[in-house]
């Protein structure tokens, strides 16, 4: 009697377990298929960048090339000047990241740690800019750049791009520095470290994760930026970035589709790889922004 009951309940447990396994397998299957389908446009661009022109038009939905036309990349890099655009984009991205990190970490540190006359005013100004209607401000910026003779240079893009992320970065660094224990700074000061040494030698190295978060955010925004480089390089085509170059390429000669696909891969691949390596910083930064 009891033996039967035990057997029955064991059978029920097994059935429950196997049902759960089926559900779990089905979930994985759906997520994997759904996820890969979600990225279909990217796979399609990658595959099409290696197709011949004929195959590009005949293969339709199929992203797989029959044989690999690596020459598309060579052509895009040299003839369509994507090599030059790549270098421009890289310089703008590195410059913007560097400027943003230095400027926002310093400001965030001061706002988090020191009391000085005018601090409230400064904080108020910074927060107010979040709520002011950002009108169509590109024209006055354009005008300003013209007057300081920075127009048609990569610097103009770097400075304006960095300024657009300055408030966000400062707030992130401020929050991070506020959460660091004061003891370390006190100890450093007792050991004779000045204001500068305390910041550059101790506090900045301690904020490594936040440097990665702000740096990655800025890098992605700068690399993908379209509007600013579009407007600031209207007069100098050789300063175009990848996104702007591609946009212009459609307008100039809208025939070479496979070359254009190679261009999209050249543009998208670096930032996707960078993201895959550093994604936890990016995701943590986003999550922190909502939870506050």
Considering only residues 149-208, where is the footprint of another protein by CB under 8 A?
A: 159-160, 162-164, 166-167, 170, 181, 183-184, 186-187, 190-191, 195-196, 199
Return the residue of 3, 4, 116, 120 that touches another protein, per CB under 8 A. Answer: 116
Give the shortest CB-29-to-another protein separation in angstroms: 12
Return the residue of 83, 84, 224, 237 that touches another protein, per CB under 8 A. Answer: 224
Collapsed DSSP state (helix, strand, coil) of residue 161: helix
43 near another protein, judged by CB under 8 A: no
Residue 109: which of 196, 218, 216, 188 has the closest Cα?
Answer: 196
Residue 145: which of 241, 243, 234 has the closest Cα?
Answer: 234
8 near another protein, judged by CB under 8 A: no
- Segment lying near another protein (by CB under 8 A), choices 9-17, 75-83, 100-108, 206-214: 100-108
Supply 156's token pair.
């103009």
Q: Residue-wise over 181-191: b if at least 16 C-beta within 10 A, else e?
A: eeeebeebeee
Return the residue of 96, 104, 207, 218 that touches another protein, per CB under 8 A. Answer: 104
Stretch (H or E) spanning 224: helix 208-224
92 near another protein, judged by CB under 8 A: no
Residue 1 or 251 having the CB closest to another protein: 251
Collapsed DSSP state (helix, strand, coil) of residue 62: coil
238 near another protein, judged by CB under 8 A: no
Supply 136's token pair.
């169509």
Supply 286's token pair.
């986003």
DSSP 94-154: HHHHHHHHHHHHHHHHHHHH---TTHHHHHHHHHHHHHS---STHHHHHHHHHHTT-TTSH
Give the shortest CB-11-to-another protein separation in angstroms: 23
Return the residue of 203, 215, 267, 281 that touches another protein, per CB under 8 A. Answer: 267
Residue 7 or 280 having the CB closest to another protein: 280
What is the rounded distance in angstroms from the CA atom of residue 220 to the CA atom of residue 282?
A: 10
Return the residue of 177, 242, 262, 281 that touches another protein, per CB under 8 A. Answer: 242
Residue 7 or 19 having the CB closest to another protein: 19
Residue 268: which of 115, 135, 82, 59 has the closest Cα?
Answer: 82
Residue 6 or 40 having the CB closest to another protein: 40
27 near another protein, judged by CB under 8 A: yes
């Amino acid at each position: 009697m009891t033996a039967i009951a035990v057997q029955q309940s064991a059978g029920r447990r097994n059935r429950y377990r196997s049902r759960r396994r089926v559900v779990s397998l089905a979930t994985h299957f759906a997520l994997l298929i759904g996820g890969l389908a979600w990225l279909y446009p990217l796979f399609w661009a990658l595959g099409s960048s290696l197709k011949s022109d004929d195959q590009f038009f005949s293969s339709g939905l199929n992203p797989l090339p029959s044989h690999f036309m690596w020459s598309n990349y060579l052509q895009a890099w040299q003839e369509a000047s994507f090599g030059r655009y790549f270098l421009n984009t890289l310089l703008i991205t590195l410059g913007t990241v560097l400027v943003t990190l230095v400027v926002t970490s310093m400001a965030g540190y001061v706002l988090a740690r020191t009391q000085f006359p005018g601090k409230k005013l400064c904080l108020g100004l910074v927060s107010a800019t979040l709520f002011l209607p950002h009108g169509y401000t590109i024209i006055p910026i354009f005008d300003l750049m013209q007057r300081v003779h920075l127009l048609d240079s990569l610097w103009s893009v770097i400075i304006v791009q960095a300024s657009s992320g300055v408030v966000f970065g400062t707030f992130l660094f401020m929050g991070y520095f506020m959460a660091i224990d004061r003891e370390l700074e006190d100890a450093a000061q007792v050991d004779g470290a000045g204001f500068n040494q305390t910041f550059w030698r101790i506090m900045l190295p301690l904020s490594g994760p936040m440097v990665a978060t702000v740096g990655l955010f800025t890098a992605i925004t700068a690399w993908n930026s379209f509007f600013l480089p579009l407007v600031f390089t209207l007069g100098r085509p050789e300063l175009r970035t990848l996104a702007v170059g591609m946009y212009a390429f459609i307008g100039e000669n809208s025939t070479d589709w496979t070359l254009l696909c190679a261009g999209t891969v050249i543009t998208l691949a670096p930032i996707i790889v960078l993201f895959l390596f550093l994604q936890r910083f990016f995701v943590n930064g986003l999550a922190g922004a909502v939870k506050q």
